[in-house]
Amino acid sequence: MPDALYDRIVLHQDAVVWFAGLISLALVGYMAFVFGRFLVYWAGSRHAFRHNRPAEPGDPSAFQWHLVIPCRDEEAVVTQTLDGLRAAAPEAHLWVIDDDSEDATRELVLAAAARGPRVHLVQRRRPHARIGKGAALLAAHGLRPDGYVLATVHRPENTDTAEALGAVLAELDRIARAGTPVLFPMHPRTRAAVERFGLAGLLERLAVTEPVGYGDFLGLANHAALLVSDSGGVQEECTVLGRPLLVVRRSTERREAVEAGFAALVQPGEELGGLARAWLSDTPERLARLAATPSPYGDGLASARIAALTAALAGRGAEPVVPLAA
């Protein structure tokens, strides 16, 4: 070490020691902060794990059961289907939505209805028939396109406490009381929570159904004026369908749907209800805007591009590469 530098350090040794101590203190403080955050995260995770109760089975006898069966030209299987459902669920009402069948489906359903008073036929005729399964589902629930809310709730943050679930259901009930039908396919966890917390009164104005299959859900979502959900997948599907979505969660891993204008994060209660009413008030304009907005998750042609590129790499090269949508 040069003498000049050594002399300078000795001359200012108090300042050097003070500065080194300050750096050490900052490092200790930073380590304590990081460790403290870890402890908070660990404690929160442990609390959530210990209080995440398994869903309790509901009481089927406490509900009226209505099963909706859209069909068209199903004479080969409709009688067997109805007999099987009547045997499995004798207390359920079976609503067959006949989409203007050209075979003997209608006559077979009427014969089944004559044998059992819980079998019902809803007959659709052209030009209002044969326009897709979604339209048949809407007819089954008495809904019109772009005139209803489709809601799903199942995550623990919305169902594990009476306060959170009650806040969501109260706002859905308020929407229904204002005149907009609310279709609510209810998850088993949610149904058990409704029974456990005594919230069945908030379901009286909602069109509550059993969980629907993926295809049926997309058919219903494709015609909804508004989606309300805490599902992750729906946040992507709404961008393809061009439908607005209120995400009832504290956070989302799918920020693209929010940033593109398809979705918004809301909390249960007044924030959910206020934004739902605002979005429903300009439904035609909002749907037109979203229909013109490309999905941030792609245009649905990824498989075509993969096939074309694979063929090109294999040397065949005849298939054109599908260009990206504008």
Identify the three-state secondary structure at position 121.
strand
- Across the chain, the runs of DSSP E, i.e. the strands, are 66-71, 93-99, 119-124, 149-152, 182-185, 207-209, 226-229, 245-248, 263-266
Whether the CB-CB separation of 73 and 101 falls below 8 Å is answered with yes
55 phi and psi angles, rounded to 5 deg: -65, 135
CA 76, CA 324: separation in Å to the nearest integer?
A: 44
Instruction: Please say if 93 is a catalytic residue.
Output: no
Crossing angle of helices 283-291 and 270-280, rounded to 10°: 80
Question: What are the tokens at 303?
Answer: 């498989």
CA 129, CA 123: separation in Å to the nearest integer?
A: 9
Residue with tokens 């006559």: 107
Whether the CB-CB separation of 160 and 166 falls below 8 Å is answered with no
Q: Which listed residue (141, 154, 187, 223) is catalytic?
A: 154
The residues pairing with 97 across neighbouring beta strands, listed in sequence order, are 70, 122
Active site residues: 154
